Structure 1
Amino acid sequence: MRNIRRRGAVALGVAGLVAPLTLALGTAPAQAASCTTQTGPYQKQVEKFLGRPVDGRQSAADCKAIQAFQTKHGITPNAGYAGSVTWGVMNLMNKQKAVGNNPNKDGACPVNKGRIACVNLTLQLSWIQDGRTLVYGPVPVRTGRDGYETRTGLKKIYWRDIDHVSSIYNVPMPYSQFFDGGQAFHSVGLSMWNPPGSHGCVNMTTTTAKKYWSLLKNGDDVFVYGRKPGT
């Protein structure tokens, strides 16, 4: 059984509860590498996404634009090559944008549970709804990578810790709301499109995690479905 540390806390507030920790760590954006002159297999798609002239040929300006995108989102190597990982992130962003304000259009997340937090692994989106009414979102999230997948199914928030600290990695997991063993909603200081993903938790920006903290409580339902790309 693992111990769980909290900053400034004397007790867990839940008698006898020790949650296994599943942390979503990622690599901070690396310093820019030398720009490649190679034309990538997704050159035209990447050029279009970045608003560059779409000619399918790598230029110095193309490389700098691609490299800036890679650095911002922690994509490595960040040499400005229009490869599958970079295009995969961009393509996911396009799909997320296309959802608009109707994330549960297919009705996959239950509408008969009242207040519920939904997580679509396929699109890496989450939102809170009450019946058929959208309460908050959708917002991009970062879920479990291959081998550490965020588990699917209907769950409930069973423990909340605003200043949680991982005893495994000794790093903060602010605004943690645990819903399946060590898997929780919590904020991270990474891009939501930082590959390959978390160690099982549903990562959020600080703004989103604070909003989820204010809108959810112990006992609220969480529904996770779909499959994260690459898992």
Structure 2
Amino acid sequence: MEPVEPLHKGRVRRRAGIALGLTSLVAPLTLAVGAGTAQAASACTAGTGPYQKQVERFLGRTVDGRQSTGDCKAIRAFQATHDITPTAGYAGPLTWQTMNTMLQQKAAKKNPNAAGKCPTDKGRIACVDLTRQISWIQDGARLTFGPVPVRTGKNGTETRTGLKKIYWRSIDHVSSIYKVPMPYAQFFDGGQAFHSTKKSMWNPPGSAGCVNMRPAEAKTYWDLLKNGDDVFVYGAKPGT
């Protein structure tokens, strides 16, 4: 989550209608309609959105393209879980973008590099697909770990594409810019790094350039990778 990091020592740290095929890609979509926040229990009055049918299908609702109170509450619960604002229950572009990203992640299954976009001639390499918001580790053409969902850079601080190498690792890193923890940080391009975060992996890309991961998966990346290992970032983040 930081665009520039100096190279010196210091403090170097849903009613659910979809089940994602891989355990590592299962989104937390188990909110029951009416449960959760006071907002989720209050009147829900958002109208029919441009992605109504797609969102209804994703959430396992009746697909009629007409907003109902139940649809509105289910959409709002999804938005609240995934930090999508405004949390109004409206089936708009950002909500569908998030759901569509989840669907693409499900389709990745056990062969995330089916299109052959991540190099297979580098030995061990960590691949990052900005379009699907996933990452995995492969050794040649053999999948070693993943794919797992990630959260990449937001507008203005996009995660930079291209072939890079891990050059600095800091297990308990704390950002010198933002003063926030970055556990299991593995830097590969300026201040951009793999690192753990507690934020939702399925909200829109929102980091300051880093590739955010869930804690257990960031730890596995830490255990599997080392300085000098290749990283390949490609694609374009959702919404671009």
Q: TM over 0.5: same fold?
A: yes
State the number of aligned residues: 210
Where does residue 154 of structure 2 map in the other structure? Answer: 145
Provide, for residues 178-217 of structure 1, a one-character-per-residue CA deviation record: whole Å limited to 9, x for no partner. Answer: 0001000001111111224211000000011011001001
String of CA shifts for 1:98-129, please: whole Å, max 9, x gaps.
11111111111111111100001111110000
Q: Structure 1 196/104 Cα, relative in aligned 2: closer, same or farther at 3 Å?
A: closer
8 Å contact kept, 2:46–2:88? no
Cα separation, 2, equivalents of 1:5 and 1:59: 54
Q: 1:6 — aligned with what? A: 11
User: Match for residue 70 of structure 2?
Assistant: 61
What is the CA distance between 1:230 and its match in structure 2? 2.5
- Residue 50 of structure 2 aligns with an amino acid whose one-letter code is P
For structure 2, the residue ranges without an aligned partner over 5 or more in a row are 14-36
State the partner residue of 2:52: 43
Question: What is the deviation of 1:36?
Answer: 2.5
SS at match of 1:224: strand
CA distance, structure 2, for counterparts of residue 186 and residue 37 of structure 1: 37
Pairs within 5 Å for 1:186-205: 186-205=195-214
The structural deviation recorded for 1:37 is 3.4
Kept after mapping to 2: 8 A contact 1:150/1:200: yes
| TM-score, normalization by structure 1 | 0.86
195-204 or 151-160: bigger deviation: 195-204
The match for 2:34 is none
2:81 alignment partner in structure 1? 72
Q: Distance in 1 between matches of 2:149 and 2:9?
A: 28
The ranges of structure 1 where at least 4 consecutive aligned residues each deviate by more than 6 angstroms after the TM superposition are none
- Displacement after TM superposition at 1:92 (Å): 1.1
User: Which residue is equivalent to 1:216?
Assistant: 225
Q: CA deviation at 1:63?
A: 1.1
Provide the C-alpha distance between the structure 2 equivalents of 1:221 and 1:129, rounded to a whole number of angstroms. Answer: 10
Cα distance in 1, alignment partners of residues 116 and 222 from structure 2? 24
**Which residue pairs with 1:184 in the alignment?**
193
Return the alpha-carbon distance in structure 2 between the equivalents of residues 31 and 117 of structure 1: 42
CA contact (8 A) 1:5 1:166 kept: no
Match of 2:138 among 121, 124, 129: 129
Could you say which residue in structure 2 is the equivalent of 1:102? Answer: 111
Matched letter for residue 153 of structure 2: G
CA contact (8 A) 2:152 2:205 kept: no
- For residue 212 of structure 1, give the secondary structure of its aligned residue in structure 2: helix
Q: Does 1:118 find its partner at 2:123?
A: no
What is the DSSP-based 3-state SS (H/G/I as helix, E as strand, rest coil) of the residue aligned with 2:172?
Answer: strand
Structure 2: distance between partners of 1:198 and 1:5: 22
% same residue: 71
Give the secondary-structure state (helix, strand or coil) at the position aligned to 2:79.
Answer: helix
